[in-house]
Structure 1
């Protein structure tokens, strides 16, 4: 009896212990091949202007404040320019004098021309002296020359108006497009200067058009070659974690961006497909994009985490309580799902905890219910 009891005790203690594993059933659904940005992208405005006057001067008029909505062509700021306005007025008056002088000279030229024609007819009939004839012809020619000179002087006067007007315009900032004033750096009476070449300074007015927002995101150089304009894209924003926005790739940068201690990336631009009327979308929001390269629906798929590097999977057989090491043929895949062309049928349970020690074909296994419930949560 003691020997028999010892035998059964040894058999009980040395029995095979099943390995606890987590499983998920292969199902039928959609699998997408996609690429995503390597670092966070940003929401940007396609039309954004950092405005500053072309010349330095003291702010005389500040017509907008931060947050104001403006229309294209609206006055934003003007510098003190009374001296330039006076020069413009002077140029206009000089031009008026030149116009009057030109009209007078040309009228006199017409009169002299008619006189020359009459003297020519009389000369042909020998009814006037040669000196009177020659004098009339010379006066007509001089009149035409004076008219041309006066017309040229009129053109000079108009050019002076253009020059003076351009100088005045350099002291005025008008909105180049409709938008929202994001920043105003300056107050009435303060002196502002334009940015020196190559040295960026704060703009006097930062204007943003909120109807032209898009996402700029860096894509690894390895993935960039697969992207084309017009591809469907999913956009997620940290500010709206529960929403996914649809987009479409607009452009791919023609060069690779190199930055120290960072992977080489290519910047892409993605446009939002739908108007963002119900979302307070702001420039500068961090954004992530998923570009859909290819999609297949109604295919057998398994969690990508269950696929081994050699293309095999572990199948749990509930009837025997053992694992099967099975070869598969994979199709499209992403971080979540992989399409299975051969080797796994819908409904079969694949092991997702492939890093468990002792996994092999034919070993006993048991489903870890607690871990599966935690994963579902």
Structure 2
């Protein structure tokens, strides 16, 4: 037993064990790669990557857009407007209405100092009274001369007095008659002077020329007003009035577009002050003059209704239409880009993007085409963000990534 060589029983590992170890390590790496791939695939299935999309928005449109021919800008003006002034010169002692007050035609809106013209009127009235007394005296003399003439004629016919007495009586009657004529002429002149003085007093009372609203006050108490307003610190008018029932729009239309408009053409008017309201109108006149500086022509648009709240000089936008919009049909509609629609077997739908970038499918009902957009109805509101040209793979809950347009 002692002669057995144990070295021959030794297992040699260096040559045969190394390949097996490498094989096992390679197998482990392959399993790890497969596991990672499976996890990545599972992640993408459970949490798919956001789909890159372009977007559009739900907008507010108006039925008139389908009939739009031309757009123009302008201002609200009052066809009946006046700077109320006095025919005479004087200092303002009373000023009535303020801006925004409505006054009736003939109402006294201001009064000038009238002490001097009142004195002149009183003198003229006194002269008229004197002239009336002179007429009465002349008539009395005429009546007496007439009686004397008749008595003298009777006595002369009986041959009791000479002819010279008759001539004297007749001459007296003629003088009395001429005196009546002269007295009446003097009375007419005196009354004319009195009327002139009365007019001067009336000129100190400034009255409203028509029913309207005061839109500006040009003078204050103590200011001097004069018809020509050429004197220093003088005013030509005390206030400006406008008849609000005659409001219209003056729009400037390009000379090159003049052939697109005509008198009587229907229009829709938008005011900056009431951006969510539309007013019906029609072309009432085209001023036959071209503005050389701007190459435009002034077009007057009559408002078919006189709504409350419209004031002169408001900015306006006028849409000239190919046909009129029915009364009550000028209501805002929701509209979308036709590319945002996706056809379904039941109709159409849009994909609304929420604040969390998740898609919500909304069924919509189509309306009329309004220019570049189409009217829709459904559970939408103006400003909603929609997917533009939606892919069929997008559905409720899909996550999207918004690509900004270049």
Task: Indicate whether the TM-score tops 0.5.
Answer: yes
Alignment equivalent of 2:318, drawn from 280, 289, 292:
289
User: CA contact under 8 A between 2:267 and 2:321: conserved in structure 1?
Assistant: yes
- After TM superposition, the structure 1 = structure 2 runs for residues 261-276 of structure 1, keeping only pairs within 5 Å, are 262-263=294-295, 265-276=296-307
| Cα distance, 1:70–1:217 mapped onto 2, change above 3 Å | same
- Secondary structure at the aligned position of 1:42 is classed as strand
Post-superposition Cα deviations, 1:271-305, rounded to whole Å, max 9, x if no partner, equal: 211231xx311111111223335679xxxxxxxxx
Partner in structure 2 of residue 71 of structure 1: 104
1:212, 1:131 → 2: CA distance? 79
1:215, 1:179 → 2: CA distance? 18
User: CA contact under 8 A between 2:86 and 2:237: conserved in structure 1?
Assistant: no
Number of residue-to-residue matches in the alignment: 275
Structure exhibiting the larger radius of gyration computed from Cα positions:
2
Partner in structure 2 of residue 318 of structure 1: none
1:160, 1:295 → 2: CA distance? 61
Alignment equivalent of 1:209, drawn from 243, 246, 260:
243
Partner in structure 2 of residue 233 of structure 1: 267
Partner in structure 2 of residue 44 of structure 1: 77
User: CA contact under 8 A between 1:33 and 1:295: conserved in structure 2?
Assistant: no
| Cα distance, 1:113–1:253 mapped onto 2, change above 3 Å | farther
2:318, 2:65 → 1: CA distance? 19
C-alpha deviation, 1:100, in angstroms: 2.1
Higher relative CO (Cα under 8 Å, sequence separation at least 6) belongs to 1
Post-superposition Cα deviations, 1:136-157, rounded to whole Å, max 9, x if no partner, equal: 1111111111111111111101
Partner in structure 1 of residue 309 of structure 2: 280
Q: CA RMSD in A?
A: 3.6
Partner in structure 1 of residue 389 of structure 2: 369
Gaps of 5+ in 2: 1-53, 57-63, 326-369, 373-386, 392-401
Compare 106-115 and 134-143 and name the one that shifted more. 106-115
Compare 56-65 and 92-101 and name the one that shifted more. 56-65
- After TM superposition, the structure 1 = structure 2 runs for residues 1-377 of structure 1, keeping only pairs within 5 Å, are 32=67, 34-37=69-72, 40-196=73-229, 203-224=237-258, 227-259=261-293, 262-263=294-295, 265-276=296-307, 279-292=308-321, 336=371, 369=389
Gaps of 5+ in 1: 1-19, 23-28, 297-334, 338-366
1:282, 1:57 → 2: CA distance? 32
- Secondary structure at the aligned position of 2:302 is classed as strand
User: CA contact under 8 A between 1:105 and 1:150: conserved in structure 2?
Assistant: yes
- Secondary structure at the aligned position of 1:253 is classed as strand
1:148, 1:129 → 2: CA distance? 30
Post-superposition Cα deviations, 1:144-189, rounded to whole Å, max 9, x if no partner, equal: 1111111111110111012212222333211112222222233323
User: CA contact under 8 A between 2:284 and 2:301: conserved in structure 1?
Assistant: yes
- Secondary structure at the aligned position of 1:139 is classed as helix
- Secondary structure at the aligned position of 2:288 is classed as coil
